C-alpha cells in the first residue's frame, strides 16, 4: 500500500515558500525543528507555536500573517 501524503492546511504559506524559493529545510533550521516536524505542522498534525508563527512571518513579511496561516480577521 503506498504511503499517503497529507495535504497542507496552509496553502498560502506553501505558495509563498515556493514563490520565494525558501526551502523547508531553511525554515526548519530557523525554527529550530526538524524538517519532519515542520511537515507535521504544515499538515495540521501539530500546531505552530506563537514564536514559530512570528519567525515564519518575518521570512514572509510582505504577506499578512493572517493570510499565511488562514486566520480570520
Say if 62 falls within a structural domain. yes
Does the residue 42 lie in any domain?
A: yes
What CATH number did the domain enclosing 46 receive?
Answer: 1.10.260
Domain that holds residue 39: 11-68
Give the mean pLDDT per block of 10 residues along the chain (73 residues): 68 95 97 97 95 96 92 66
Angstrom distance (rounded) from CA 27 to CA 33: 9
In a domain, 3, yes or no: no
Indicate whether 73 belongs to any domain.
no
d(CA 32, CA 38): 10
pTM of the model: 0.84
In a domain, 4, yes or no: no
Structural domain total, the chain: 1
Amino acid at each position: 500500500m503506498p504511503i499517503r501524503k497529507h495535504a497542507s492546511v496552509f496553502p498560502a504559506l506553501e505558495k509563498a515558500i515556493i514563490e520565494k524559493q525558501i526551502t523547508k529545510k531553511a525554515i526548519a533550521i530557523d525554527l529550530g525543528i526538524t524538517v519532519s516536524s515542520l511537515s507535521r505542522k504544515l499538515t495540521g498534525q501539530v500546531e505552530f507555536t506563537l514564536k514559530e508563527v512570528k519567525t515564519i512571518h518575518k521570512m514572509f513579511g510582505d504577506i499578512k500573517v493572517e493570510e499565511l496561516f488562514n486566520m480570520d480577521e
